[in-house]
Structure 1
Amino acid sequence: MRADARKNYEQLLAVAGVVVAEQGADASLREVARRAGVGLGTLYRHFPTREALLEALLHTNFDDLTGRAVDLESSDSPGSALLTWVQDCTRFTTTYHGVTQVMMSAIEDPESPLHTSCVALRTAGGRLLTRAQDAGVARTAMDGTDLFALIAGLAWLCDQPALAPRAEHLFDAIARPALMR
């Protein structure tokens, strides 16, 4: 990639992170291009769809959360590791309003640019869940898909202005009983 194209790409991603954090997953792509100081055509050359932009924006975060799950797999407490990871995921998904819906749609659509990252994230969480189940500290009636749905539900709750101040309480009231024995 040419140096100027790389600069535009990086500027678009940096600005997209700010705009999506402010406006949510449905943020105006025109606003992203305007704030980045490039034309809409430049944005679309780098990111032909909104999902492609979100995938590039979220990819690093998804990789970090997947890596975090791998790190937690070797912790002494499988139950605490699972709860910590679910809480980390829930916090992340509330960074960008509306990303939960995008993730849930992407995991069902193999053609989505976000599909692979979402599947990797769900698989990593599933391994933590299985480890906690094998240790006898997590409910056996759940699987990785249920865990992903629980995270989405918690993120949605935390994303509601009236409920956001109660995020920790909601996590304790919902995640712990749903996951732990």
Structure 2
Amino acid sequence: MTTGAGKPLRADARRNREKILTAAARVFAEEGLDAHLERVAKEAGVGSGTLYRNFPTRELLIEAAYRNELSRLCDAAPDLLAAMPPHEALRAWMGRFIDYATAKLGMADALRAVVDSGVNPYAQSRELIMTALTSLLDAATTAGTIRPDISAPDMFAALTGVALASGKPDQREQAERLLDLILDGLRHRTAL
């Protein structure tokens, strides 16, 4: 990770930035656009000066927090595939998708404010998600554990439906059951 001037960030600066982005996603998801940036700094365990040095405006912080959540989701796919069988990696990623969608839904008002300022935080989001999802589906299909006729856009639609219907934190158990149901429907079955 580098600064705007192209210099690499020191390790402590990288950690502080990551803590700020994680706290910001959580605070904006809980409180929306009215969230106080001082609360973000406090939850991140940094001073206000550190927060503003990294993110001089609310819009820059919101955009960076959203993009960080998106990166976490998409970057998880290869790590999950390296750590577990493909169908388990797919299921673990599906749970992470719900985490991402829950944060995104919670940040909706804040993200709309960013869009209103002329910035599109969603640029390339779908493409990045489709790439991650395709890699997981392809690995599970190649392993013979899921049907080969499911496309990444169809899976994205199913996951989005679960997130919209059960994406609130207090609905997590229902979301997990629905994700299991989707995965059961994807399992490869031999003809009788």
TM-score range, shorter chain: 0.5 to 0.7
1:60 corresponds in structure 2 to 68
Opposite residue 184 of structure 2, the aligned amino acid is P
Distance 1:88 1:146 in 2: 18
Q: CA–CA distance in 1 between the matches of 2:63 and 2:72?
A: 14
2:186 match: 179
Question: Equivalences for 1:9-158 in 2 at 5 Å?
Answer: 16-23=24-31, 27-28=32-33, 30-32=34-36, 46=56, 53-75=61-83, 77-98=85-106, 112-158=120-166
Aligned length: 157
Give 2:175's aligned residue.
167
Q: Secondary structure at the match of 2:124?
A: helix
Corresponding letter in the other structure for 1:95 = A
**TM-score normalised by the chain length of structure 2:** 0.60
1:88 aligns to what SS in structure 2? Answer: helix
Question: Are the aligned partners of 1:62 and 1:118 in contact in 2 as well (CA < 8 Å)?
Answer: no
Question: Shift of residue 98 of structure 1?
Answer: 4.5
Gaps of 5+ in 2: 6-12, 42-47, 112-118
Q: 1:61 to 1:17 in 2, by over 3 A?
A: closer
Give the structure-1-normalised TM-score. 0.63
What do you get for the CA RMSD once the two structures are aligned? 3.8
Alpha-carbon separation, structure 2, partners of 1:162 and 1:60: 23
CA distance in 2, matches of 1:166, 1:145: 23
Q: Matches of 1:128 and 1:167 in 2, distance apart? A: 20
SS at match of 1:94: helix
User: Gaps (5+ residues) in structure 1?
Assistant: 104-110
Question: In structure 2, how many angstroms separate the alpha carbons of the residues matched to 1:84 and 1:18?
Answer: 21
CA distance in 2, matches of 1:65, 1:31: 24
